[in-house]
Amino acid sequence: MGAKVFFATVWKEFRVRLHAYPISFMVSCLTTGIYTNLGAWLMYHCFFEGRLSSDFSLYAGTGDYMSYVIVGSCTYLFVVRTCLNVSRTLVTELREGTLDSLMLAPFHRSAYFLGNMALQTVTTSLELLISVLIGLFFGLQIYHFSPGKFIIAVILSLYGFFGISMMLGCLMLYTRNTYITQNTLFSLIFLLCGITFPKEYLPKALQYIGALLPVTDAVDLLRTSLLGGMTAEDWSATAMRLFVLSSIYILMGFPLMEKAERIALEKMEG
């Protein structure tokens, strides 16, 4: 049953994206990455005059500011696209009037959400390739590419993004709001998770908050697998922390999603 629900969800979401969503949505996401890279390039060359403080290399593990920012912005693009589309699936069902029908059908939650995540991962990867090509124009350079670490980092990152999607989806379904909740979360991620600058520059209180978001460790793992800058022991500890934190998000997300579904259905009937 789970496999049938998984593949049916992938096929259904693929057809929806193929016929219902304009290409301008994909362009808007790519534009976000372009503006981030362009802004970083202007700051680095025009404001910083190509100079960085010594503590940047200490915190970032690399002295290449542009590569640091481009890897972070590509990761942020992946976070936004996966979390946005996976978390709002049930809200979309609610708005389209199909949530009650979905609940009455043989609804396998894990297969349903994993199907959405799988399709979104594939489509976002294609967009990410375009972003990487654009990043090469802005100065992206890969110094210490480790295929093994990169594959592990990608798998753990997707696991973490899925956990965030589940928690965000609960909040969206409960409040019936997508705009405020998703943009608040994405703004926090952009600020706290070291997307464009080392998180060590933030006050300690904000660093602790950022550490509660799996994106922080995911960005560190992906950067290290491409640019280096972290010892093997630190990398392993970060990977384990990301796995544990993501597991907590997922274990909390599924029971909360069931409660949010019941509340949403009660509001529909009431």
pLDDT at 125: 83
Instruction: Please check the confidence at residue 270 and state whether its pLDDT lies above 80.
Output: no
Q: How confident is the model at residue 21 (pLDDT cuts 50, 70, 90)?
A: low
Between 25 and 240, residue with greater pLDDT: 240
Instruction: Please check the confidence at residue 22 and state whether its pLDDT lies above 60.
Output: no
| Mean pLDDT calculated for residue range 148-170 | 93
pLDDT at 29: 65
Between 65 and 212, residue with greater pLDDT: 212
Domain with 97 in it: 2-269
| Mean pLDDT calculated for residue range 195-209 | 92
Instruction: Please check the confidence at residue 81 and state whether its pLDDT lies above 60.
Output: yes
Between 112 and 28, residue with greater pLDDT: 112
Between 237 and 122, residue with greater pLDDT: 237
Q: How far apart are CA 114 and CA 100, in angstroms?
A: 20
Instruction: Please check the confidence at residue 202 and state whether its pLDDT lies above 80.
Output: yes
| Mean pLDDT calculated for residue range 78-101 | 82
Between 26 and 89, residue with greater pLDDT: 89
| Mean pLDDT calculated for residue range 39-53 | 80
Total domains in the fold of the chain = 1
Between 209 and 178, residue with greater pLDDT: 209
